[in-house]
Amino acid sequence: MSRGLLAWAAIAAVVAGISFIGGRALKGGGEAAPAFDLSAPGYSPADTVVGSSLGGFSGFGETGGLEGEAIVAGRVSRVGLDSVTVAAPGGESTIRLTGDQRLRRIEAVDASALTVGASVVVIRKPGTDQAASVLVTAVP
């Protein structure tokens, strides 16, 4: 092999090496991607601040109450003949009652409300068998 050919081969090897290193250096850091909380509820309006009672109950499924989850919440600002308007951080919402919805009220009760057959939801104190609060959801 002539010395000239060897020189060209050496130059080609150096160029190839530099190109290889340059190619690796060009590899970007990738795009930052958001992290998702896969255990989050499927629907959760940003402006809804769900109220809870002294016992910690909202009245709906998130705290073991009625079917469904609270999607509209706020302080009642007006009561009409067939509607209620609430003020929430995102603005006012008017809910028209069609008669299909169940209207309930959370009230303080004493132990006499815990009658046999009553449906209840109990929130236990963490790590104990003590009930911190009890909500009677239906009576027989």
Partner 1 sequence: MISAAAGYLTGEQDSVLLPPAATPAAQTDIVRGTVQSLEGATLTLSTEAGPTSVILAPDAVLEALRPTTLSAVRAGDWLNAGAVPHQQTLLALTGIVIIPPSVLRTPR
Residues in region 119-138 near partner 1 by CB under 8 A? 119-126, 129-138
Query: H or E element: which one contains 83?
Result: strand 83-88
Q: What b/e string do you get for 74-95 counting C-beta neighbours within 10 Å, with b at 16 or more? A: beeeeeeeeebebebeeeebee
Among 1, 5, 40, 46, binds partner 1 (CB under 8 A): 40
Q: Which three-class secondary structure state does DSSP give residue 51?
A: coil
Nearest to partner 1 of 2, 39 (CB atom): 39
Other CB atoms within a 10 A radius of the CB of residue 105 amount to 5
The count of residues interacting with partner 1 (CB under 8 A) is: 97
Among 78, 90, 91, 92, binds partner 1 (CB under 8 A): 78
Among 1, 3, 5, 28, binds partner 1 (CB under 8 A): 28
Radius of gyration of the chain (CA): 33
Nearest to partner 1 of 4, 110 (CB atom): 110
Residues with Cβ within 8 Å of residue 112, at least 6 apart in sequence: none
Q: Does 5 bind partner 1 (CB under 8 A)?
A: no
Q: Does 105 bind partner 1 (CB under 8 A)?
A: yes
Q: Compute the least distance from the CB of residue 88 to partner 1, in Å.
A: 9
Q: Does 3 bind partner 1 (CB under 8 A)?
A: no
